[in-house]
C-alpha cells in the first residue's frame, strides 16, 4: 500500500471513530443528602468542582471543610460525589463548579436549592422544598415528590436549547422567560391553576371528574392543560403537577 493511501485510510478511520462519540471530559457532581441547603455557583476560575459544607444537628453548627465521618466525599478528578450517612442532620453546602458541569442532586427530605448561571445539566429530586433557579442554560429535570415552591427565571436567556422538565405533586411553579425565547410549552395541573401572560389556550380535558370552581369571581375548570408553541416552538418546557399552581410569564 502506498504511504499516501495509508495516511488517507488512517485519517478517515480516525475521523469515523471519533465522530460523533467525541465526549469532552465534563465535570460532574452528585449529591445524595437527607436534609440540605445547596447553593451552586458556576465559575470559569476553576477546573474541578470545589465544595464547602457545614452540618447542623439542631443544637450547634459545626464548620467542616474536610473529610468528615458524617459525610462521605469522593473526589475523583473532575467528579465529585457527596453523600450523607443518614445522620439526618441538615447539611449546608456551597458548590463552585466549572462551566458545563453536570449536577445531580437528590434530597430525600427537605431541600433548599439555589443555582444561577448554570451551563451544565441539572438533575434534581427533592421531597419537600424550595428551589430557586436562575439562568439555567443546560437541561433541567426537576421532580418534587411533595410540596415544593419552585422559581425558575430564564429571562436572561434568549435561546432555550435544552429541555426543561418540572414535575411536582403540589406547591407552585413560577417561571419567567425572555419575550424573545422560542420553546414548546406543555403545562398540566390536575387540581391547580395555570396563569400566564402568554396567549395560551387552556384546553379541556373530557376525562375530568371535577366541577367548576370559583376563585376570585372567575370560574375555572380543572384539570387544566396547555400545549403551546412560543415564538415558533423549540426545546420542550414541561411543567406538570397534581395539586400545584403554575405561572408562566414573559
Residues of this chain that interact with another protein (CB under 8 A) are 4, 7-9, 11-20, 28, 102, 104, 121-123, 138-143, 162-163, 165-167, 169, 186, 188, 190, 205-209, 223, 225, 236, 238, 240-242
Query: CB of 210: closest distance to another protein in angstroms?
Result: 9
| 3-state secondary structure string across 127-168 | EEEEEEEEEECCCEEEEEEEEEEEEEEECCCCCCCCCEEEEE
Residue number, 89 or 121, with CB nearest to another protein: 121
Query: CB of 45: closest distance to another protein in angstroms?
Result: 24
Phi first, then psi, for residue 17 (nearest 5°) are: -75, -40
d(CA 4, CA 140): 48
- CB count, 10 Å around CB of 135? 16
Residue number, 71 or 105, with CB nearest to another protein: 105
The grid coordinates listed for 228 are 403551546
Residue number, 90 or 239, with CB nearest to another protein: 239
Query: CB of 222: closest distance to another protein in angstroms?
Result: 12
Query: CB of 108: closest distance to another protein in angstroms?
Result: 14
Residues 6+ apart with CB under 8 A from 199: none
Query: CB of 142: closest distance to another protein in angstroms?
Result: 8
Residue number, 89 or 139, with CB nearest to another protein: 139
Cell 370560574 belongs to residue: 219
Residue number, 13 or 61, with CB nearest to another protein: 13
How distant, in Å, are the alpha carbons of 161, 187, 200 from that of 158? 10, 21, 20
Query: CB of 181: closest distance to another protein in angstroms?
Result: 18
d(CA 19, CA 71): 40
d(CA 28, CA 9): 36
Amino acid at each position: 500500500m502506498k504511504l499516501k493511501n495509508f495516511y488517507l485510510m488512517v485519517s478517515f478511520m480516525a475521523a469515523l471513530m471519533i465522530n460523533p462519540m467525541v465526549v469532552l471530559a465534563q465535570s460532574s457532581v452528585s449529591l445524595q443528602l437527607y436534609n440540605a441547603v445547596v447553593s451552586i455557583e458556576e465559575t470559569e476560575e476553576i477546573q474541578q468542582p470545589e465544595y464547602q459544607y457545614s452540618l447542623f444537628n439542631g443544637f450547634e453548627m459545626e464548620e467542616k471543610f474536610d473529610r468528615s465521618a458524617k459525610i462521605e466525599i469522593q473526589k475523583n478528578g473532575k467528579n465529585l460525589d457527596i453523600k450523607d450517612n443518614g445522620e439526618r442532620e441538615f447539611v449546608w453546602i456551597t458548590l463552585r463548579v466549572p462551566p458545563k458541569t453536570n449536577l445531580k442532586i437528590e434530597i430525600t427530605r427537605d431541600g433548599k436549592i439555589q443555582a444561577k448561571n448554570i451551563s451544565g445539566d441539572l438533575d434534581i429530586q427533592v421531597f419537600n422544598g424550595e428551589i430557586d433557579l436562575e439562568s439555567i442554560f443546560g437541561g433541567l429535570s426537576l421532580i418534587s415528590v411533595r410540596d415544593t415552591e419552585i422559581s425558575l427565571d430564564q429571562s436572561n436567556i434568549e435561546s432555550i436549547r435544552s429541555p426543561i422538565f418540572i414535575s411536582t405533586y403540589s406547591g407552585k411553579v413560577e417561571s419567567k422567560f425572555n419575550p424573545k425565547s422560542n420553546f414548546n410549552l406543555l403545562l398540566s395541573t390536575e387540581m391547580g391553576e395555570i396563569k400566564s401572560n402568554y396567549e395560551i389556550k387552556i384546553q379541556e380535558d373530557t376525562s375530568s371528574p371535577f366541577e367548576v370552581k370559583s376563585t376570585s369571581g372567575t370560574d375555572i375548570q380543572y384539570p387544566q392543560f396547555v400545549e403551546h408553541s412560543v415564538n415558533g416552538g423549540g426545546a420542550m418546557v414541561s411543567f406538570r403537577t397534581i395539586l400545584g399552581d403554575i405561572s408562566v410569564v414573559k
